[in-house]
Amino acid sequence: MALVYASEELLQDPVVLLAREGGNHIAGRGVHAPVLTVAFLELSHDGAHIEAGVEGVSGQEMSLTFGNEGTVGDLAASAAQQRGVGTVFLCMKRGALPQKP
């Protein structure tokens, strides 16, 4: 792995740390990973959680819930865990912020 030659400063970069620790679940260019569409995002009634609906290309639907300060990375991590994979591609429906029907 090329990181054995990296400087200490680069090794401490937050993005590199995430990748080294397996904390980045968003697939990048050239990676084989499932493509998932975020159908909706909604704050729970009590404001404590974000609820997300995610659909696979095959039509499989998943419901995900995470903390109200969740990030796209948290969404990707939850989706990857539920699919049993390391990384996923995330798409937004129609390129807009998805709303629950």
Is residue 65 a part of any domain in this protein? yes
Is residue 71 a part of any domain in this protein? yes
pLDDT the model gives residue 97: 59
Is residue 69 a part of any domain in this protein? yes
* Phi, psi torsion values for 82, nearest 5 degrees: -65, -35
pLDDT the model gives residue 73: 87
CA atoms within 13 A on the CB side of 100: 9
Is residue 12 a part of any domain in this protein? no
CA atoms within 13 A on the CB side of 59: 0
Is residue 1 a part of any domain in this protein? no
pLDDT the model gives residue 100: 61
Is residue 37 a part of any domain in this protein? yes
Is residue 19 a part of any domain in this protein? no
* Phi, psi torsion values for 91, nearest 5 degrees: -125, 150
Integer Cα distance of 88 and 77 in angstroms? 8
- What is the mean pLDDT of each successive set of 10 residues along the chain, which is 101 residues long? 75 71 81 92 91 91 90 90 92 67 55
**Which domain covers residue 69, as residue numbers?**
25-95
Q: How many domains does the chain have?
A: 1
